[in-house]
Every structure is written in structure tokens, then in C-alpha cells.
Structure 1
Amino acid sequence: MFMGEYQHSIDDKGRLTIPAKFREGLGTSFVITRGLDKCLFIYPMQEWKVIEEKLKNLPFTKADARAFTRFFFSGATECEWDKQGRVNIPANLREHAQLVKDCVVIGVSNRVEVWSKELWEQYFAEAAHSFGEIAEKLVDFDL
């Protein structure tokens, strides 16, 4: 399980250091893809395979299913760590998440998310404001 929030910087070549405890959980090979809310999702290979199987079973006759799988898979790339424990994030993914310098790396249960610091602070401020309302909506899920 991934949890926590860490501040890091992405360098001019698009390399980002991921916290050591996240690297252990992600393994030597993992998948980065476009996430929702203008962030990136990073999945360990075993979790990626579970998601891939679920998305594969969506009905291709539904436009929303086709659109989501295109968005999700077209941005996906398999990655490995360099010798310094960094990952090179492709330009198209950096552009999607608006990653320029300061980043926030967070653990979200089965995945790691990478946010630009500015977008994370905006998102967190908005979500924190409505946290109570969100929690009420999730009561139906037995949390």
C-alpha cells in the first residue's frame, strides 16, 4: 500500500526521484500513465495488469469506454529506475501534469500519483473545503 506526501523536483531532462519506500513497492518495472485531475498515475506491474484486465472487459460499443481506454492506455509507458533511483518521465506526460520543477509525490493505496506542486495545492485546498461532504457521499460504501 502506498501512502504519504513528499516534495521533490523534476530536473531539466524530466527525471524525478521517487521516495525509496515507493520505489520498493513499485518494483524494478512499473507503468506511468495520465491520471485524472491533471496528475500522473504510477502503478506496479501486478496492479497494472489488474486494471488492464478490467478495462479490457469494458464494452467497446460504448463511446465512454472507448474514450477512457484510449486516454488511459495511449499515455501509458513502462519505466525502470536509473542508477540514482530516478524515473525519466516522457515529455507528453510531463505536459499533461504540467510538471516543470516542483512536484508532489503522493501514495494513494494501490498507486503513486505525481502532481505539480501548484496544481496539488489548488486541488487540496478545494478538496479540503468539501471533505465533509465527500465523506458523507462515501458512507454508502461502508467506509
Structure 2
Amino acid sequence: MALTGTYLRTLDEKRRLAVPKRVKDDFAEENLESLIVAPGTEKSLVVYSPKSFDQYAARLSGAPEHQRYMRLFYSSAERLEFDSQSRIRIPDRLADYAGLKRDVYLLGVQDHAELWDKEAWEAFINTHSPEFDQLALKAMS
């Protein structure tokens, strides 16, 4: 099932993120114990299940023109274990990369989730929502 939805969350003082049960379920992985978090585009973080991360890695493999991107991406990716309350702790360097403050959005984006600082996501929405119809036409063609 494709990951969907927008979830406003709050990082605690230790930068722990409570992952909603629906998001965990939508990853459709039995006994999901961890997620992989890595830098995304536009100062976001991408969040994959181990299985979806492996599928993404398979799409990237063997393309020498992607070597610099792969070095940056994989060296920054972190496997984060869930605690007993279904939280993951976002490492400082990743939180700093994405400019995460206290309030964040966790977004479902087909095969992965994205984590955005609240202000950055709201700016993205305000900028790109007027283009929705044009973007939809491009995506469907």
C-alpha cells in the first residue's frame, strides 16, 4: 500500500519522533523494528522501512553517474530502532540538515515518508499548491 497522509508531530527535547501506527502499518512490513532516515531533497529527511530502503538501493545500484550522490546519501543514512513507545530518535546531524525544530510534519510519499520542519513544509505548500494541476498533468502523462 502506498504511504499517504500528513501528520503534525512534535519532537521532544531528545529529538524523538513518535511514529503514528498508521504510518508503521502502511510500510507493510512484518515486525517492523526500525526505520532508515537519510537526507532528502529541499532540506527534508526521507524515511524508509528496511525493505523499501533495499528496493530504493536496488534502483540506484550500478549507475556510476550517481556515485557522488550515493556516497553522500548512504554515508548520512541511519538505521533508527523504535523504542517501546514507537519513537525514533533523529540524530542531531540529520535534524540540523533538515532544520528541524520542535514542530515537524511526517508525510506519506508512496514508498517512503518524509520529515519536514513545520515552517519549511508550510512554505513549500504555499509555493507549490497553485501548481498542483500542472504537476498532476505532468505526472500522469
Query: What TM-score do the two structures reach when normalised by structure 2?
Result: 0.89
Amino acid at match of 1:18: V
Q: 2:56 aligns with which of 36, 41, 51?
A: 51
In structure 1, what is the equivalent of residue 124 of structure 2?
Answer: 123
Match of 2:43 in 1: 38
| 2: CA distance, partners of 1:133 / 1:36 | 21
Instruction: State whether residues 25 and 44 of structure 1, in contact with CA within 8 Å, keep that contact through their aligned partners in structure 2.
Output: no
CA displacement, residues 21-56 of structure 1 (integer Å, 9 cap, x when unaligned): 112344212211111111111111111111112222
Question: What residue is the counterpart of 1:88 in the other structure?
Answer: 89
Equivalent residue of 1:3, what SS? coil
Contact 1:39 1:115 in 2 (8 A): yes
Query: Contact 1:30–1:78 at 8 Å: present in 2 too?
Result: yes
Gaps of 5+ in 1: none
Matched, 1:72 2:73: yes
**Structure 1 runs (4+) greater than 3 angstroms displaced:** none
Report the TM-score, using the length of structure 1 for normalisation.
Answer: 0.88
Indicate the larger mover: 65-74 or 21-30. 21-30
In the alignment, which residue of structure 2 is the partner of 1:24? 25
Deviation at 1:135, TM superposition (A): 2.0
Q: Map of 1:101-116 to 2, 5 A cutoff?
A: 101-116=102-117
Identity of aligned residues (%): 29
SS at match of 2:85: coil
SS in 2 for 1:72: helix
C-alpha separation in 2, matches of 1:88 and 1:102: 14
Residues 138, 23 of structure 1: alpha-carbon distance in 2 compared, 3 angstrom cutoff:
closer
Q: Which residue of 2 aligns with 1:11?
A: 12
* Structure 2, unaligned runs of 5 or more: none
Deviations, residues 101-120 of structure 1 (Å, cap 9, x unaligned)? 00011111110111100000
